[in-house]
Structure 1
Amino acid sequence: MGKEIYIHSTVINSWIVVLLLSLFAIYVSKKIKASDPTKKPTGIVNIVEIIVVQIEKLVKDTMGPDKMKFAPYIGTLALYLAVANLFGLIGFAPPTSDYNVTLALAIITFILTQYFGIKSKGLGGYFKGFFEPIPFLFPINVIGELANPISLSFRLFGNILSGVIIMGLLYSAVGYFAPVVTPVFHAYFDLFAGLIQTFIFIMLTMVFVSMAMDD
């Protein structure tokens, strides 16, 4: 009793991103069902088709044609991260500037890596990999595996948070001239850096999972 529960704005913004993407998926689904499959897609259906094709091509080129089952997850992850990272363009705190969000995403990648590593190699083959190329490297291999989600989460979190801090300082410094000075910096810290970090995160996710599954 008497305790206050504080919900950070990034948590609320994260749910906003999920809600927006869910509504977008419902809208696109209706558009696809209403479209004629014998005709060339137009409008939003055409844009979504291009995105799906590019995601599938990226997964195929990175993980191999035998791992296309990961394409839906990678596509979902890419869309979430892209929208979340670009939230700063409309004046909201990006959800990925909160370490809780980036760590949760990195843990999902870590769990996928371990699960499919065991599933593809078997429990014995999975643990055998920690003793290669020589048994002496077992502690280092374990530390390296545990370090993956930490480095993955901190890379995304650090880059997005640094952009938020720099833009906040810039707004304070230029004052009334902000509408003139800040657009070019938004283009870099929010648009360019946000999309680059999205690409890096999904690429590392695919590489980690693929390496765990392959010999």
Structure 2
Amino acid sequence: MDGHKEKGVFHPHDNESKKISSDSINTSTDVDTTSTRGEKELEKTKVEKSIGSLTLETKQNAEAKVGSEIIKHVYGNVYEFKNGEEWLILNNRTQAHKEAIEYLDNVWDEMGILGWNKSFIESFVDEGTLERRLGITYDDIYNRDSPNFQLAKQVPLNKKELFNESIKHDGIAHSLASYDHEEVELPQGKLMYRVN
């Protein structure tokens, strides 16, 4: 090198021969931000670990709505508050709709049409079609003494349409807020649903 330094590029060999004297150290009363910054980063990491993926602002807004402090991230998007309540906290309505669809799909996998009331299901598949295609009636499936879960999963219908109509009819909170079927809105479009 000819002594020319490129602006903005670090050259470690340029500093090798230079010694720092105690006279060149700034001994003014300015705040040393390196330790403060490190402490802040450590504190931020502790907060992030204790609240999962929530931002600090969302955490504070949720705590204000519930009137209690979040004490731990339970699983997924569910958080436990100091008062014992557990809440599902989502970023927006699109995420809430997706979560509701996943929930309804799990209901279908477990119960088939038995997860919905008979009159609602009949609007998707009439009894004549059921008899012609499967040789059964709704009474065979919705038997009060012995519901038939195996037959309940064989009913020929469009699950996507069923799930979307269920959400349109009952609302997202009916699927996600198992405690009270209520939705709580937070600033910036965030949504909360109590699950216990």
- TM-score using structure 2 length: 0.29
Kindly name which structure, 1 or 2, has the bigger radius of gyration based on alpha carbons. Answer: 2
Larger helix share, 1 or 2: 1
Larger strand share, 1 or 2: 2
Greater relative contact order, per chain length (Cα 8 Å cut-off, separation 6+): 1
